[in-house]
Amino acid sequence: MKRGILLALTCAACVAISVACGSAKNNNDSASSNDKTTKAPEQSATAQTNKTSEQTVVAEPDAVMTVNGNVYEINTTSLAADVKGYNGATPLIVTIENDKVVKVTALDNEETPRFFQHMTNGGMLDRWNGKTVDEALNANVDAVAGATYSSNAVVENVHRALKYYMENKK
């Protein structure tokens, strides 16, 4: 009895998917429906890009740095995409207020969780807090033992964010 219900649900799901995708009985209808499906996301992506561009021009200098009053947030996702820890990129958000580093926040990354946590628990992300941007750029921050690759990637991400801030702040 459970198998019959499962099959019925599966078949209903297939029908729903076919209808949603625009599948039809003959190949010509299917092809034209697929063309429409393909074009819609492109149009949507263009609209989103235009909206983002408008917001970027009006509200912030660019997609890397957002400004809210005298608080700047620099996202290193694209700024330091080439900076790798042990397993991959280690993007951060560096928050700066009144030319002082307020906070460094780790974003989702591909690092081994226990090593990255070891680094963050070691206070790595707090080492720039309270420093002026100049002091933070010149700070000699050592890597956390046992998480050297991740630590070095974090240092480079912070340096790139700080340099970007210096070059692009209002």
| Ramachandran sector of residue 22 (left: φ over 0; alpha: ψ -120 to 50; beta: rest) | left
Residue 73 has pLDDT above 60, yes or no: yes
DSSP 89: B
What predicted TM-score, i.e. pTM, was given to this entire model? Answer: 0.64
Q: Is pLDDT of 26 > 60?
A: no
CATH of segment(s) 65-168:
3.90.1010
* Tokens 């009985």 found at: 25
pLDDT in tens, 104-153: 999 999 999 999 999 999 999 999 999 999 999 999 999 999 899 999 99
Strands (E), the chain: 65-68, 71-75, 92-97, 100-106
What band does 62 get if pLDDT is binned at 50, 70 and 90? low
